[in-house]
Structure 1
């Protein structure tokens, strides 16, 4: 009995009940790995498929590679949602390659929304620089619990990795500005409405009707509405 107890104790020490946290992306193996631009890749005629982006030779890296003006201005507002996301990733800012980080500027018009979406590879922390936002996400455990908060300039809010979340500017007269950091150099983003009603090729209408409990006319209306929102 004593030997069994000792074995169980050793097993518990070797396999702690609380797992250690890990980064969303792999840790870098060197101080930096500035990504080659698409033009540089083409010049080198690289056709490798790797997890990340190829690195410039260290001797070719310059101080200016670590600076970017990408977020000085908002992205273009598309559709009638009233939000514009300017996301700097390793693909647009090479110094982020292997650093496990992306950063976004999000501009919201009055009553604008960054609609429900997910980032499959990243947790997001939002800093509200200007205005007011209603923000929230839906958890999987507890199942389908809605966590939400109205935040103001200077506040932070965390959206856990892979969970459906949104940001909405409730002010009908003033814009808002947020800065979001994500712990992946390629966080990915999938809007729920677009994934359901504007995929390419389209999802089978029978799937949408059965899943949502609606008829064909309503499916057609939603498809037209979502696609119209994207084009306006």
Structure 2
């Protein structure tokens, strides 16, 4: 779909805010794969100058969410199979590391937060609310990341997770959402039992199921 016609309220935005808004618009499909991204249009939509938009587009290009074609405007990148697999391997390893470090530190309150997030996830999936399901999934996994306190892990995930978020929308909109809730419940049990190694292995498996769940027609394949 095209850049929304309505102008958002003007307010000072940091580069990170512009980056987050554009990234979210790509992930949720507001800016669809193949859509041209003109910095002037985006700046008008966000109510900012072109400079932070251009900086954000450069960052999104490094993350694999946009592509710049010489002589043409930047466009939203397709959901590329190779890019998803590469990001998946990194994200799976980082989440596993966070869980392994977090398990010995998890409090009953942390476990309750994971249970609540998973319950919200399951409920959102049942009513077909993909946005709410993704938000709940993020809250579920964020518990271990926050408890681990590993800022390097958080930084790597911030770079590579957006590539997977578009693929996640496809999974959470399918029957696989139910399987994800079951895996979450199993992970909570392992965390509650203090089994850090098993919890880390399951976490890695959870993230490794992503590309297996995707129909081949939903991603751009490497034909070289």
The interval holding the TM-score normalised by the smaller chain is under 0.3
Structure with more of its chain in strand, by fraction: 1
Normalising by the residue count of structure 2, what TM-score does the alignment of the two structures yield? 0.24
Higher relative contact order (CA 8 A, sep 6+): 2
Structure with more of its chain in helix, by fraction: 2
Normalising by the residue count of structure 1, what TM-score does the alignment of the two structures yield? 0.24
